[in-house]
Amino acid sequence: MVGNVPLFAQGQFPPKPYILLGAVSTDNEDNLAKAVREQHADAAMISRESSYQTGSVAWAAPGVYGVTPIRHTVITANLIKYK
């Protein structure tokens, strides 16, 4: 649950009958909860969550260096309304 909005993970289903209102893709669960509220839905069922590398940042200090990957996450979910 994020911001009082139920989010059902992949393979989890709501405990009562529902209808699908549509689908949404976003970059984090907070934005998913915001979409549920804006569309007057009751909850969201996550259907896919993926993360991929979009680049990297090289950093250095005296005697130390490294590379940190930059990742992008995409969450796709169905918005649902209870009957």
Q: Rounded to two decimals, what is the model's pTM?
A: 0.74
Q: What pLDDT does 39 receive? A: 94
CB contact burial 49-75 (16+ within 10 A = b; e otherwise): eeeeeeeeeeeeeeeeeeeeeeeeeeb
Looking at 3.30.110, 3.30.70, 2.40.128, 3.90.320, the CATH number of the domain 7-82 comes to 3.30.110
Domain ranges of the chain: 7-82
Positive or negative, the Cα torsion across 1, 38, 80, 31?
A: negative
75-81 mean pLDDT: 96
Asked whether residue 1 carries a pLDDT value surpassing 80, the answer given is no
Residues 4-43 pLDDT 10s: 899 999 999 999 999 999 999 999 999 999 999 999 999 9
DSSP symbol at 8: E
Q: What pLDDT does 2 receive? A: 79
